[in-house]
Amino acid sequence: MKKRAVYPGTFDPVTYGHVDLIKRAARIFDEVIVAVAKNAEKSPLFSTEERIDMLSRATSGINGVVLDSFDELMVDYVQKKNCNVVIRGLRMISDFEYEFQMALTNRKLNKDIEVIFMMPKESYSFLSSKLTKEMALYDANLSEFVPPFVAEKLNEKTRELKKRAGR
């Protein structure tokens, strides 16, 4: 029987921190379903399709990775995938409170689903998609934070945003 886990997230955009967790999870599980949340409340910069495309390119050399998207409660999605393990990344202590609250809430919704917290490599422990987008707005060098094709897409999007804002 395959050991499977779901790694849900917005991935707006995928960073080297995400890729690090996916690689490490793929060493533990036979299959890692990287599930892109369509969460419109977060107002993603990239469409679901763009995020899946970037993830596809970023994870192309990692065995056992399956890409998908979802627009429902995470526990419902995980159950539909006949899975009982969810991977969540913890960067800094500030992530812990939110993730712990979510894990306990999800346990109330479905006691059969286990949440495993993984920490990225130290060099990515501060990195977030939000910070990456902010850096892109100010034309920072993104080479240490995201794959080159993601940096290119980020730069395109931020140029569009700046143009619309008259900057």
The answer as to whether 130 is a domain residue is no
- DSSP per-residue codes, 96-129: HHHHHHHHHHHHHH-TT-EEEEEPPPGGGTT--H
Question: Which CATH number is 101's domain given?
Answer: 3.40.50.620
pTM over 0.85: yes
What's the structural domain count of the chain?
A: 1
Q: Is residue 24 part of a domain?
A: yes
| DSSP classification of residue 59 | T
Domain membership of residue 161 (yes or no) is no
Positions marked catalytic: 18, 42, 91, 129
Residue 17 belongs to domain spanning: 4-125
Helix (H, G, I), strand (E, B) or coil at 26: helix
pLDDT tens digits along 28-78: 999 999 999 997 677 899 999 999 999 999 999 999 999 999 999 999 999
The answer to the question of residue 151 being in a domain is no
